[in-house]
Structure 1
Amino acid sequence: MSLDTWLLYLVAIVLIAISPGPMAMLSMSHGMHFGKRLSLATALGSVLAALCLMLASAAGLGALLAATEYGFTVLKWCGAAYLLYLGIKLLLTKPHDDGFHLARPQDKGSPKALFRQAFMVGISNPKDLLFFAALFPQFIDVTAPQGPQLAILAGSWAVVDFSFVMIYASLASLLAPKLSASNRLHWFDRTSGGVFVSLAALLAARN
Protein backbone atom coordinates (compact mmCIF):
# COMPACT_ATOMS: atom_id res chain seq x y z
CA MET A 1 0.00 0.00 0.00
CA SER A 2 1.41 3.36 -1.03
CA LEU A 3 1.67 6.27 1.40
CA ASP A 4 -0.69 8.37 -0.73
CA THR A 5 -3.36 5.66 -0.60
CA TRP A 6 -3.02 5.30 3.15
CA LEU A 7 -3.24 9.07 3.71
CA LEU A 8 -6.38 9.24 1.60
CA TYR A 9 -7.89 6.40 3.62
CA LEU A 10 -6.88 8.13 6.87
CA VAL A 11 -8.62 11.36 5.84
CA ALA A 12 -11.74 9.39 4.91
CA ILE A 13 -12.01 7.50 8.20
CA VAL A 14 -11.28 10.63 10.28
CA LEU A 15 -14.17 12.40 8.57
CA ILE A 16 -16.35 9.36 9.22
CA ALA A 17 -15.30 9.21 12.89
CA ILE A 18 -16.13 12.89 13.41
CA SER A 19 -19.69 12.39 12.16
CA PRO A 20 -22.17 12.03 15.05
CA GLY A 21 -23.75 8.61 15.41
CA PRO A 22 -24.87 6.04 17.99
CA MET A 23 -21.33 5.39 19.22
CA ALA A 24 -20.59 9.10 19.61
CA MET A 25 -23.73 9.55 21.70
CA LEU A 26 -22.95 6.49 23.79
CA SER A 27 -19.37 7.60 24.45
CA MET A 28 -20.59 11.04 25.51
CA SER A 29 -23.14 9.49 27.86
CA HIS A 30 -20.52 7.19 29.39
CA GLY A 31 -17.98 10.00 29.69
CA MET A 32 -20.49 12.25 31.40
CA HIS A 33 -21.59 9.67 33.96
CA PHE A 34 -18.51 7.51 34.50
CA GLY A 35 -15.52 9.65 33.57
CA LYS A 36 -12.63 9.28 31.14
CA ARG A 37 -10.96 6.30 32.83
CA LEU A 38 -13.98 4.00 32.71
CA SER A 39 -14.76 5.19 29.19
CA LEU A 40 -11.64 3.37 28.07
CA ALA A 41 -13.82 0.25 28.21
CA THR A 42 -16.32 1.97 25.90
CA ALA A 43 -13.58 2.72 23.39
CA LEU A 44 -12.29 -0.86 23.52
CA GLY A 45 -15.81 -2.22 22.98
CA SER A 46 -16.26 0.04 19.96
CA VAL A 47 -12.91 -1.00 18.48
CA LEU A 48 -13.57 -4.73 18.98
CA ALA A 49 -17.00 -4.45 17.32
CA ALA A 50 -15.46 -2.64 14.36
CA LEU A 51 -12.69 -5.22 14.02
CA CYS A 52 -15.24 -8.06 14.09
CA LEU A 53 -17.24 -6.36 11.32
CA MET A 54 -14.06 -5.82 9.30
CA LEU A 55 -13.14 -9.48 9.58
CA ALA A 56 -16.68 -10.48 8.60
CA SER A 57 -16.54 -8.14 5.60
CA ALA A 58 -13.16 -9.51 4.56
CA ALA A 59 -14.59 -13.03 4.81
CA GLY A 60 -17.43 -12.11 2.46
CA LEU A 61 -20.26 -11.79 4.99
CA GLY A 62 -20.97 -8.26 3.80
CA ALA A 63 -21.61 -9.50 0.27
CA LEU A 64 -23.77 -12.32 1.65
CA LEU A 65 -25.95 -9.92 3.65
CA ALA A 66 -26.23 -7.60 0.67
CA ALA A 67 -27.60 -10.51 -1.37
CA THR A 68 -29.74 -12.01 1.39
CA GLU A 69 -32.57 -9.72 2.39
CA TYR A 70 -33.69 -11.89 5.31
CA GLY A 71 -30.30 -11.88 7.05
CA PHE A 72 -29.92 -8.14 6.64
CA THR A 73 -33.44 -7.52 7.93
CA VAL A 74 -32.84 -9.59 11.07
CA LEU A 75 -29.63 -7.72 11.89
CA LYS A 76 -31.26 -4.38 11.13
CA TRP A 77 -34.13 -5.00 13.53
CA CYS A 78 -31.79 -6.31 16.24
CA GLY A 79 -29.74 -3.14 15.99
CA ALA A 80 -32.84 -0.94 16.08
CA ALA A 81 -34.21 -2.82 19.10
CA TYR A 82 -30.99 -2.37 21.07
CA LEU A 83 -30.79 1.36 20.31
CA LEU A 84 -34.45 1.69 21.34
CA TYR A 85 -33.68 -0.10 24.61
CA LEU A 86 -30.81 2.28 25.38
CA GLY A 87 -32.93 5.29 24.44
CA ILE A 88 -35.81 4.31 26.73
CA LYS A 89 -33.41 3.74 29.64
CA LEU A 90 -32.02 7.25 29.22
CA LEU A 91 -35.45 8.83 28.76
CA LEU A 92 -36.58 7.32 32.07
CA THR A 93 -33.71 8.81 34.10
CA LYS A 94 -34.66 11.16 36.90
CA PRO A 95 -32.80 14.18 38.30
CA HIS A 96 -30.72 13.55 41.43
CA ASP A 97 -30.67 15.96 44.34
CA ASP A 98 -27.43 14.74 45.86
CA GLY A 99 -25.13 16.26 43.24
CA PHE A 100 -22.99 14.67 40.61
CA HIS A 101 -20.92 11.60 41.39
CA LEU A 102 -18.96 9.47 38.97
CA ALA A 103 -20.04 5.86 39.10
CA ARG A 104 -17.76 3.32 40.80
CA PRO A 105 -16.56 0.19 39.00
CA GLN A 106 -18.73 -2.11 41.10
CA ASP A 107 -22.05 -0.59 40.01
CA LYS A 108 -23.75 -0.24 36.65
CA GLY A 109 -20.74 1.70 35.38
CA SER A 110 -18.39 -1.26 35.59
CA PRO A 111 -15.86 -1.58 32.75
CA LYS A 112 -17.48 -4.86 31.73
CA ALA A 113 -20.92 -3.24 31.42
CA LEU A 114 -19.62 -0.24 29.46
CA PHE A 115 -17.59 -2.51 27.17
CA ARG A 116 -20.63 -4.71 26.54
CA GLN A 117 -22.87 -1.74 25.72
CA ALA A 118 -20.37 -0.27 23.27
CA PHE A 119 -19.76 -3.63 21.62
CA MET A 120 -23.48 -4.28 21.20
CA VAL A 121 -24.12 -0.82 19.70
CA GLY A 122 -21.24 -1.30 17.28
CA ILE A 123 -21.85 -4.91 16.28
CA SER A 124 -25.63 -4.65 15.86
CA ASN A 125 -25.57 -2.26 12.90
CA PRO A 126 -25.48 -4.16 9.58
CA LYS A 127 -24.92 -0.89 7.75
CA ASP A 128 -21.38 -0.87 9.16
CA LEU A 129 -20.78 -4.38 7.86
CA LEU A 130 -21.80 -3.34 4.35
CA PHE A 131 -19.85 -0.11 4.75
CA PHE A 132 -16.62 -1.94 5.43
CA ALA A 133 -17.34 -4.32 2.55
CA ALA A 134 -17.70 -1.32 0.24
CA LEU A 135 -14.90 0.80 1.71
CA PHE A 136 -11.96 -1.59 1.81
CA PRO A 137 -11.85 -2.52 -1.89
CA GLN A 138 -11.37 1.15 -2.75
CA PHE A 139 -7.98 1.19 -1.01
CA ILE A 140 -6.63 -2.31 -1.69
CA ASP A 141 -4.18 -3.08 -4.46
CA VAL A 142 -5.31 -6.43 -5.86
CA THR A 143 -1.88 -7.02 -7.40
CA ALA A 144 -0.22 -7.03 -3.95
CA PRO A 145 -0.73 -9.37 -0.95
CA GLN A 146 -4.04 -8.41 0.63
CA GLY A 147 -3.38 -9.62 4.19
CA PRO A 148 -0.88 -6.86 5.10
CA GLN A 149 -3.08 -4.25 3.45
CA LEU A 150 -6.14 -5.34 5.43
CA ALA A 151 -4.07 -5.26 8.61
CA ILE A 152 -3.02 -1.67 7.89
CA LEU A 153 -6.59 -0.59 7.10
CA ALA A 154 -8.02 -2.31 10.18
CA GLY A 155 -5.26 -1.04 12.48
CA SER A 156 -5.67 2.53 11.25
CA TRP A 157 -9.43 2.36 11.80
CA ALA A 158 -8.94 0.96 15.31
CA VAL A 159 -6.61 3.84 16.29
CA VAL A 160 -8.91 6.51 14.85
CA ASP A 161 -12.06 4.94 16.34
CA PHE A 162 -10.48 4.58 19.79
CA SER A 163 -9.21 8.18 19.68
CA PHE A 164 -12.52 9.76 18.77
CA VAL A 165 -14.53 7.72 21.28
CA MET A 166 -12.15 8.97 23.98
CA ILE A 167 -12.34 12.54 22.67
CA TYR A 168 -16.15 12.50 22.87
CA ALA A 169 -16.04 10.88 26.31
CA SER A 170 -13.42 13.32 27.61
CA LEU A 171 -15.34 16.38 26.42
CA ALA A 172 -18.53 15.07 28.00
CA SER A 173 -16.66 14.35 31.25
CA LEU A 174 -15.46 17.95 31.38
CA LEU A 175 -19.01 19.23 30.91
CA ALA A 176 -20.59 16.91 33.48
CA PRO A 177 -19.89 18.93 36.68
CA LYS A 178 -21.24 22.14 35.10
CA LEU A 179 -24.38 20.42 33.90
CA SER A 180 -24.90 18.80 37.28
CA ALA A 181 -24.39 22.08 39.14
CA SER A 182 -27.19 23.62 37.08
CA ASN A 183 -29.34 20.47 37.47
CA ARG A 184 -29.28 19.89 33.72
CA LEU A 185 -27.56 16.50 33.66
CA HIS A 186 -30.82 14.59 33.43
CA TRP A 187 -31.81 16.72 30.45
CA PHE A 188 -28.68 15.56 28.67
CA ASP A 189 -29.74 11.99 29.42
CA ARG A 190 -33.19 12.60 28.01
CA THR A 191 -31.81 14.34 24.94
CA SER A 192 -29.43 11.41 24.39
CA GLY A 193 -32.33 9.02 24.88
CA GLY A 194 -34.35 10.86 22.27
CA VAL A 195 -31.45 10.65 19.84
CA PHE A 196 -31.11 6.89 20.40
CA VAL A 197 -34.85 6.37 19.86
CA SER A 198 -34.70 8.47 16.68
CA LEU A 199 -31.69 6.50 15.42
CA ALA A 200 -33.56 3.26 16.12
CA ALA A 201 -36.53 4.51 14.11
CA LEU A 202 -34.31 5.61 11.23
CA LEU A 203 -32.46 2.30 11.19
CA ALA A 204 -35.72 0.38 11.15
CA ALA A 205 -37.27 2.55 8.45
CA ARG A 206 -34.38 2.63 6.00
CA ASN A 207 -34.18 0.00 3.25
Structure 2
Amino acid sequence: MSIETWLLYLMAILLIAISPGTMAVLSMSHGIHFGKVRSLATAFGSVSSALLLMFASAAGLGALLSASEYGFTILKYCGAAYLLYLGIRLLLTKASGHGLDLQHIKGKGSAKQMFKEAFLVGISNPKDLLFFGALFPQFIDMTAPQGPQLAILAVTWAIVDFSFVMLYASMANVLAPSLKTSNKLHWFDRASGGVFIGLAAILISKQN
Protein backbone atom coordinates (compact mmCIF):
# COMPACT_ATOMS: atom_id res chain seq x y z
CA MET A 1 0.00 0.00 0.00
CA SER A 2 1.37 3.39 -0.99
CA ILE A 3 1.50 6.29 1.45
CA GLU A 4 -0.73 8.25 -0.94
CA THR A 5 -3.45 5.57 -0.74
CA TRP A 6 -3.21 5.48 3.05
CA LEU A 7 -3.46 9.27 3.35
CA LEU A 8 -6.53 9.27 1.08
CA TYR A 9 -8.09 6.54 3.23
CA LEU A 10 -7.27 8.47 6.42
CA MET A 11 -8.86 11.62 5.02
CA ALA A 12 -12.00 9.70 4.06
CA ILE A 13 -12.50 8.14 7.48
CA LEU A 14 -11.75 11.41 9.26
CA LEU A 15 -14.55 13.05 7.29
CA ILE A 16 -16.87 10.17 8.22
CA ALA A 17 -15.92 10.41 11.89
CA ILE A 18 -16.30 14.20 12.06
CA SER A 19 -19.68 14.32 10.36
CA PRO A 20 -22.56 14.17 12.87
CA GLY A 21 -24.48 10.93 12.84
CA THR A 22 -26.16 8.24 14.89
CA MET A 23 -22.96 7.15 16.65
CA ALA A 24 -22.14 10.73 17.62
CA VAL A 25 -25.57 11.14 19.20
CA LEU A 26 -25.31 7.81 21.03
CA SER A 27 -21.79 8.64 22.23
CA MET A 28 -22.93 11.98 23.63
CA SER A 29 -25.93 10.37 25.31
CA HIS A 30 -23.74 7.73 26.95
CA GLY A 31 -21.13 10.30 27.90
CA ILE A 32 -23.59 12.62 29.59
CA HIS A 33 -25.37 9.81 31.47
CA PHE A 34 -22.60 7.39 32.33
CA GLY A 35 -19.36 9.35 32.08
CA LYS A 36 -16.16 8.98 30.09
CA VAL A 37 -14.94 5.75 31.67
CA ARG A 38 -18.09 3.75 30.96
CA SER A 39 -18.19 5.21 27.45
CA LEU A 40 -15.15 3.09 26.67
CA ALA A 41 -17.66 0.28 26.13
CA THR A 42 -19.45 2.47 23.57
CA ALA A 43 -16.19 3.08 21.73
CA PHE A 44 -15.35 -0.63 21.69
CA GLY A 45 -18.84 -1.43 20.38
CA SER A 46 -18.47 1.10 17.58
CA VAL A 47 -15.01 -0.16 16.60
CA SER A 48 -16.12 -3.81 16.71
CA SER A 49 -19.07 -3.23 14.38
CA ALA A 50 -16.91 -1.30 11.92
CA LEU A 51 -14.20 -3.95 11.87
CA LEU A 52 -16.82 -6.63 11.27
CA LEU A 53 -18.15 -4.67 8.30
CA MET A 54 -14.59 -4.11 7.08
CA PHE A 55 -13.68 -7.79 7.04
CA ALA A 56 -17.07 -8.68 5.57
CA SER A 57 -16.41 -6.17 2.80
CA ALA A 58 -13.00 -7.70 2.17
CA ALA A 59 -14.71 -11.12 2.01
CA GLY A 60 -17.20 -9.96 -0.60
CA LEU A 61 -20.03 -8.14 1.23
CA GLY A 62 -19.50 -5.10 -0.98
CA ALA A 63 -20.21 -7.07 -4.14
CA LEU A 64 -23.15 -8.84 -2.47
CA LEU A 65 -24.82 -5.60 -1.37
CA SER A 66 -24.24 -4.06 -4.80
CA ALA A 67 -25.82 -7.06 -6.51
CA SER A 68 -28.70 -7.56 -4.08
CA GLU A 69 -31.13 -4.68 -3.67
CA TYR A 70 -33.12 -6.70 -1.14
CA GLY A 71 -30.06 -7.31 1.03
CA PHE A 72 -29.33 -3.61 1.38
CA THR A 73 -33.02 -2.81 1.90
CA ILE A 74 -33.30 -5.33 4.74
CA LEU A 75 -30.23 -3.88 6.45
CA LYS A 76 -31.61 -0.38 5.97
CA TYR A 77 -34.97 -1.15 7.57
CA CYS A 78 -33.40 -3.08 10.45
CA GLY A 79 -31.17 -0.11 11.19
CA ALA A 80 -34.09 2.32 10.98
CA ALA A 81 -36.17 0.16 13.32
CA TYR A 82 -33.42 0.11 15.94
CA LEU A 83 -32.94 3.89 15.70
CA LEU A 84 -36.69 4.32 16.12
CA TYR A 85 -36.59 2.09 19.21
CA LEU A 86 -33.77 4.13 20.76
CA GLY A 87 -35.57 7.38 19.95
CA ILE A 88 -38.88 6.32 21.48
CA ARG A 89 -37.11 5.01 24.58
CA LEU A 90 -35.41 8.37 25.11
CA LEU A 91 -38.63 10.29 24.47
CA LEU A 92 -40.45 8.24 27.09
CA THR A 93 -37.90 8.94 29.85
CA LYS A 94 -39.39 10.83 32.76
CA ALA A 95 -37.95 13.64 34.83
CA SER A 96 -36.84 12.13 38.13
CA GLY A 97 -37.27 15.15 40.34
CA HIS A 98 -33.64 14.95 41.42
CA GLY A 99 -30.65 16.90 40.21
CA LEU A 100 -28.14 15.25 37.97
CA ASP A 101 -25.87 13.14 40.17
CA LEU A 102 -23.07 11.78 38.03
CA GLN A 103 -21.87 9.34 40.66
CA HIS A 104 -25.36 7.90 40.90
CA ILE A 105 -25.89 7.80 37.14
CA LYS A 106 -22.57 6.11 36.49
CA GLY A 107 -23.76 3.18 38.55
CA LYS A 108 -26.56 2.49 36.07
CA GLY A 109 -26.23 0.83 32.71
CA SER A 110 -23.83 -2.04 32.24
CA ALA A 111 -20.82 -2.02 29.93
CA LYS A 112 -22.43 -4.94 28.12
CA GLN A 113 -25.57 -2.93 27.39
CA MET A 114 -23.62 0.11 26.19
CA PHE A 115 -21.40 -2.08 23.98
CA LYS A 116 -24.48 -3.78 22.52
CA GLU A 117 -26.23 -0.49 21.74
CA ALA A 118 -23.14 0.92 20.04
CA PHE A 119 -22.54 -2.29 18.10
CA LEU A 120 -26.12 -2.45 16.80
CA VAL A 121 -26.13 1.23 15.85
CA GLY A 122 -22.76 0.85 14.15
CA ILE A 123 -23.55 -2.34 12.24
CA SER A 124 -26.63 -0.68 10.70
CA ASN A 125 -25.07 2.77 10.23
CA PRO A 126 -25.82 3.76 6.61
CA LYS A 127 -22.59 5.76 6.34
CA ASP A 128 -20.49 2.76 7.34
CA LEU A 129 -22.51 0.35 5.20
CA LEU A 130 -22.04 2.48 2.11
CA PHE A 131 -18.37 3.12 2.85
CA PHE A 132 -17.46 -0.51 3.43
CA GLY A 133 -19.80 -1.80 0.75
CA ALA A 134 -18.72 0.52 -2.06
CA LEU A 135 -15.64 2.57 -1.25
CA PHE A 136 -13.47 0.47 1.07
CA PRO A 137 -12.50 -2.19 -1.51
CA GLN A 138 -11.00 0.59 -3.65
CA PHE A 139 -8.22 1.08 -1.10
CA ILE A 140 -7.00 -2.52 -1.39
CA ASP A 141 -4.38 -3.42 -3.99
CA MET A 142 -5.49 -6.82 -5.24
CA THR A 143 -2.08 -7.46 -6.76
CA ALA A 144 -0.34 -7.25 -3.37
CA PRO A 145 -0.78 -9.39 -0.22
CA GLN A 146 -4.08 -8.38 1.37
CA GLY A 147 -3.29 -9.35 4.98
CA PRO A 148 -0.84 -6.51 5.72
CA GLN A 149 -3.08 -4.03 3.92
CA LEU A 150 -6.14 -5.05 5.94
CA ALA A 151 -4.13 -4.82 9.15
CA ILE A 152 -3.05 -1.25 8.37
CA LEU A 153 -6.55 -0.17 7.32
CA ALA A 154 -8.15 -1.84 10.34
CA VAL A 155 -5.76 -0.28 12.87
CA THR A 156 -6.17 3.15 11.26
CA TRP A 157 -9.97 2.91 11.39
CA ALA A 158 -9.96 1.61 14.96
CA ILE A 159 -7.78 4.48 16.22
CA VAL A 160 -9.83 7.17 14.46
CA ASP A 161 -13.22 5.67 15.36
CA PHE A 162 -12.29 5.05 19.00
CA SER A 163 -10.85 8.56 19.36
CA PHE A 164 -13.90 10.34 17.98
CA VAL A 165 -16.41 8.29 19.97
CA MET A 166 -14.51 9.15 23.14
CA LEU A 167 -14.24 12.79 22.04
CA TYR A 168 -18.01 13.07 21.64
CA ALA A 169 -18.58 11.29 24.95
CA SER A 170 -16.05 13.50 26.74
CA MET A 171 -17.53 16.69 25.30
CA ALA A 172 -20.97 15.66 26.51
CA ASN A 173 -19.60 14.67 29.91
CA VAL A 174 -18.10 18.15 30.31
CA LEU A 175 -21.62 19.55 29.85
CA ALA A 176 -23.08 17.21 32.46
CA PRO A 177 -22.26 19.31 35.56
CA SER A 178 -24.14 22.26 34.05
CA LEU A 179 -27.33 20.17 33.95
CA LYS A 180 -28.18 20.94 37.55
CA THR A 181 -31.85 20.15 37.25
CA SER A 182 -33.54 16.99 36.08
CA ASN A 183 -35.64 19.07 33.70
CA LYS A 184 -32.57 20.01 31.69
CA LEU A 185 -31.45 16.39 31.51
CA HIS A 186 -34.97 15.36 30.56
CA TRP A 187 -34.99 17.76 27.64
CA PHE A 188 -31.57 16.56 26.51
CA ASP A 189 -33.01 13.04 26.38
CA ARG A 190 -36.01 14.26 24.43
CA ALA A 191 -33.82 16.12 21.94
CA SER A 192 -31.62 13.04 21.48
CA GLY A 193 -34.72 10.88 21.01
CA GLY A 194 -36.04 13.28 18.39
CA VAL A 195 -32.72 13.13 16.52
CA PHE A 196 -32.78 9.32 16.49
CA ILE A 197 -36.36 9.24 15.20
CA GLY A 198 -35.52 11.85 12.56
CA LEU A 199 -32.49 9.84 11.41
CA ALA A 200 -34.66 6.71 11.22
CA ALA A 201 -37.15 8.57 9.01
CA ILE A 202 -34.38 9.86 6.76
CA LEU A 203 -32.89 6.38 6.48
CA ILE A 204 -36.23 4.85 5.51
CA SER A 205 -37.00 7.53 2.92
CA LYS A 206 -33.50 7.54 1.42
CA GLN A 207 -33.14 5.77 -1.88
CA ASN A 208 -30.57 2.96 -2.13
Q: State the TM-score, normalized to the length of structure 2.
A: 0.92
Alpha-carbon separation, structure 2, partners of 1:126 and 1:17: 13
CA distance 1:146–1:178, change in 2 (3 Å): same
Instruction: Give deviations 1:25-57, integer Å, cap 9, x for gaps.
Output: 000000000000000000000000001111111
Which residue identity is paired with 1:16?
I
Aligned to 1:37: 37
Which secondary structure does the structure 2 equivalent of 1:184 belong to?
A: helix
Which secondary structure does the structure 2 equivalent of 1:159 belong to?
A: helix
> Once the 2 structures are TM-superposed, how far is the Cα of residue 143 of structure 1 from its aligned partner?
2.7
Aligned to 1:54: 54
Q: In the alignment, does 2:139 pair up with 1:139? A: yes
Number of residues of Structure 1 aligned to a counterpart in Structure 2: 205
Alpha-carbon separation, structure 2, partners of 1:64 and 1:205: 22
> Once the 2 structures are TM-superposed, how far is the Cα of residue 21 of structure 1 from its aligned partner?
0.4
Aligned to 1:128: 128
Q: In the alignment, does 2:21 pair up with 1:15? A: no
Alpha-carbon separation, structure 2, partners of 1:202 and 1:54: 24
Which residue identity is paired with 1:111?
A
Superposition RMSD on alpha carbons, in Å? Answer: 1.6
The percentage of counterpart residues that share the same residue type is 73
Which residue identity is paired with 1:200?
A
Which residue identity is paired with 2:70?
Y
Which secondary structure does the structure 1 equivalent of 2:180 belong to?
A: helix
> Once the 2 structures are TM-superposed, how far is the Cα of residue 140 of structure 1 from its aligned partner?
2.3
Indicate if the aligned counterparts of 1:28 and 1:171 stay in contact, CA closer than 8 A: yes
Structure 2: give runs of 5+ residues left out of the alignment: none
> Once the 2 structures are TM-superposed, how far is the Cα of residue 181 of structure 1 from its aligned partner?
4.2
Q: State the TM-score, normalized to the length of structure 1.
A: 0.93
> Once the 2 structures are TM-superposed, how far is the Cα of residue 182 of structure 1 from its aligned partner?
7.9
Aligned to 2:65: 65
CA distance 1:119–1:159, change in 2 (3 Å): same
Instruction: Give deviations 1:53-95, integer Å, cap 9, x for gaps.
Output: 1111111112112211222221111110000000001111222
Alpha-carbon separation, structure 2, partners of 1:147 and 1:62: 18
Alpha-carbon separation, structure 2, partners of 1:199 and 1:115: 21
Instruction: Give deviations 1:99-143, integer Å, cap 9, x for gaps.
Output: 1123244x3x11011001000101123552332132223322233
Aligned to 2:189: 189
Alpha-carbon separation, structure 1, partners of 2:162 and 2:49: 11
Alpha-carbon separation, structure 2, partners of 1:144 and 1:65: 25
Alpha-carbon separation, structure 1, partners of 2:106 and 2:176: 16
Instruction: Give deviations 1:177-205, integer Å, cap 9, x for gaps.
Output: 10234841111111110000011011111
Structure 1: give runs of 5+ residues left out of the alignment: none
Aligned to 2:119: 119
CA distance 1:127–1:164, change in 2 (3 Å): closer
Aligned to 1:150: 150
Indicate if the aligned counterparts of 2:96 and 2:182 stay in contact, CA closer than 8 A: no
Alpha-carbon separation, structure 2, partners of 1:97 and 1:73: 43
Alpha-carbon separation, structure 2, partners of 1:61 and 1:127: 15
